[in-house]
Structure 1
Amino acid sequence: MRDILAFGSIVIDNVLLVKRFASVNETVQAEKYRYTYGGAGANVAVAAARLGAKSGVFAVSGYDFKRFNYERTLIEQGVDVRGVIENSNSPMPRSFIISIEGSDDQILYYYENRRETSKLLFKNQKFAEELSKEYKVLHFSTGHFEFYYRFLRSKKVPAVVSFDPGQETFSYPYRVVRILPYVHMLFMNNHEAKRIKELLKIRSLKEIKGPRLVCVSMGARGSVIIFNDRVYRVPAVKPAKLVDPTGAGDSHRAAFLVALLKGYDVPTAGKIASVVASFTIEAEGAQTSLPTWEKVIRRYERFFKEEFPEPQGSWEETKKLLLSSGK
């Protein structure tokens, strides 16, 4: 079987680096501008492929997907693009990311025709179900949550389900909440985790019904992972330089999943994910500086000051725990 099928988006990222965000009616001079390949679905697929996993992406692209050489780039990275559905009437979505170097982002998103994209996804649901049967893990990130809900509710795919709702936790919170019972792993940042607790009226993330594993990223403070009634705290790995945080969350998720598939236990997978995220921050664009597994090993040993471990178990053992009912 193949490893990870990433559901999400394929986007052209327009990145502006600034020293501070503008106030209302204020103009701030951008220090740098670049357009790069992005979209949460594609970012996860590329990061996983760079780490040696057999990954694919399921998303709707635009008529300029080939014109921007995005398709060729994905294929060269080893990503399965059979799940890319072309929208011949609209361009790829665009994101406009205003980023303070080494800090936070402001993100604007533009869809030419979101409704048509939704129609294409629903039209291809059977195809998605068939393609998914070839993969061990399905990862759902920022995209069309109505489609995700219908797809997951059908329960026709036996794979482990991973979910990273991202900013839609704030934009469409009810869509996020109703997906939670169908997922086995949930990834969020600390702001999203706070919002989820407010929405569900719970005091602890341990109370969430659905996911057996919850991972909360906290930027420079690392991450917290809740799994099998245990809490693990993983430090952030310091990058060689702070350039652009765009896509660090996506590469973190991809690395975490790849590590689990390779047989590493949860705390070690968290460390590996932290290492991979540190590479992403070192260059402009979400897919620009993704590391190979060999580079991950070297940085892991340098940062954690220990020999890179052998896998502690197997994916089948972790899968059994993730799929078991109850908390």
Structure 2
Amino acid sequence: MRIAVTGSIATDHLMVFPGRFAEQLIKDQLERVSLSFLADRLDVHRGGVAANIAFGLGRLGLDPVLIGAAGRDFAEYDAWLRANGVDTSAVRVSETLHTARFVCTTDQDQNQIATFYAGAMAEAPRIDLAEIAERTGRLALVLVGADDPAAMLRHTVTAHRLGIPVAADPSQQLARLDREQARHLVDGATWLFTNEYEAALLLERTGWSEQDLLGRVGTWITTLGAEGVSLTRSDTPRLHVPAVPTDRIADPTGAGDAFRAGFLAGLARELPAEQAARLGCALATTVLESVGTQEYKLLAADLVARIGQTYGDDAARTIEPCLAGGS
């Protein structure tokens, strides 16, 4: 099962300010702010939702096709992804722009000041999914992740026209979409991914009720943080899969992307949806315990042990053969 993952490719620059932003702001001067914060730590990580998901799939042995736009500074990131099992031949590399960049400073109260530079992502609408599908071979699924909205809509229309199942994952871009755009992105999706907040926002954006939406998609998967995930289908009882617990959370960034990678890997290995969700939860917890969305260590034996401890030995025995191609 060949999976294509479309969406953002980015670099995260994360800084820590040891003080409080609030102490530097003067109430009567907020309309003319000019401040510089001296950070005492800088972490640079590879990121972007499509790259994160494709990385997880690659580590699990799935050979995913990454589809997105990156900048002229992409060479090192490209080599990293290829080394971890990702097919980057469909990435559009801009001749003039830099790869998208997220620059964020966090103070000691966990307040954040951030800027996102779209950069080469603006060229994503020029990518032709049909040409990629023809060149790379028959695609069994296309995940349409957060990207330039025009690119998301184009990929969705093309996948439906080609008869390729779609996993809709609008996530951060929901806030930018109007009613018709939001409806086009999810209508007819085989799989729909949101978190709890995005689920409510999606209903508001589309103007549909939950039952209306469920009548237009196959399965709606909602991630619930420490509570796990829910899987909902029309006229079927909601299925809840608890999270794999941990007391070693280092950084929540990227856990949702890891869940998607694990879940899609499970589907590719023909696991039932509930078992695929369990694999996704185990991978998400692995990412929670490391800083950086692609810096985690992935050991099949560790995932199997986590699954067994949380869901029982039968679940572990069912999922274990699906991890034979991972690393």
Question: Is the pair's TM-score, using the shorter chain for normalization, greater than 0.5?
Answer: yes
- What CA RMSD, in Å, does the superposition of the two structures yield over aligned residues? 3.0
* Partners of 1:192 and 1:239 in 2: CA distance: 25
- The CA deviation at 1:203 is 4.2
Task: Give the match's secondary structure for 1:279.
Answer: helix
Question: Is the 2:93–2:120 Cα contact (8 Å) retained in structure 1?
Answer: no
Q: Report percent identity of matched pairs.
A: 20
Q: 51-60 or 289-298, which moves further after superposition? A: 289-298
* Alignment pair present for 1:255 and 2:275: no
In the alignment, what sits opposite 1:288? 295
Distance 2:156 2:305 in 1: 38
More strand by share: 1
Shift of 1:138: 1.0
**Alpha-carbon distance in structure 2 between the residues aligned to 1:166 and 1:186:** 10
Matched, 1:137 2:141: yes
Richer in helix (by share) = 2
Partner amino acid, structure 1, of 2:14? V
Matched residue count? 305
3-state secondary structure, aligned to 1:83: coil
SS at match of 2:313: coil
The farther-off stretch of 218-227 and 288-297 is: 288-297
Residue 38 of structure 1 corresponds to which residue in structure 2?
47
Partner of 1:6: helix, strand, or coil? strand
Task: Quote the residue 2:14 is aligned against.
Answer: 15
* Matched-pair contact (CA < 8 Å) for 1:47–1:290: no
CA distance, structure 2, for counterparts of residue 221 and residue 215 of structure 1: 13
CA distance in 1, matches of 2:213, 2:155: 25
Q: Distance in 2 between matches of 1:60 and 1:218?
A: 30
Alpha-carbon distance in structure 1 between the residues aligned to 2:212 and 2:136:
29
* Distance (Å, rounded) in 2 between the aligned partners of 1:181 and 1:230: 21
- Structure 1 unmatched runs, 5+: 315-327
Matched, 1:160 2:159: no
Query: How far apart, in 2, do the equivalents of 1:219 and 1:118 lie?
Result: 30
Based on CA coordinates, which of the two structures has the bigger radius of gyration?
Answer: 2
**CA shift in 2, pair 1:238/1:261, >3 Å:** same
In 1: Cα distance, 2:191 partner to 2:77 partner = 29
Moved more, 24-33 or 7-16: 24-33
The 3-state SS of whatever aligns with 1:257 is helix
Which of 240, 244, 255 is the matching residue for 2:251? Answer: 244
Determine if the alignment matches structure 1 residue 59 to structure 2 residue 63. no
Instruction: Please name the residue that 1:324 is paired with.
Output: none
Offset of residue 20 of structure 1: 9.8
Gap change, CA 1:294 and 1:106, over 3 Å in 2: farther
Q: Which amino acid aligns with 2:46?
A: Y
Residue identity in the other structure for 1:6: V
- Aligned mates of 1:177, 1:139 — CA distance in 2: 16
Equivalent position to 1:77, from 81, 84, 99: 84
Q: Kindly tell me: are residues 111 and 207 of structure 1, through their superposed partners in 2, closer, same or farther at Cα, counting changes over 3 Å?
A: closer
1:56–1:207 CA distance, 2 compared to 1 (3 A): closer
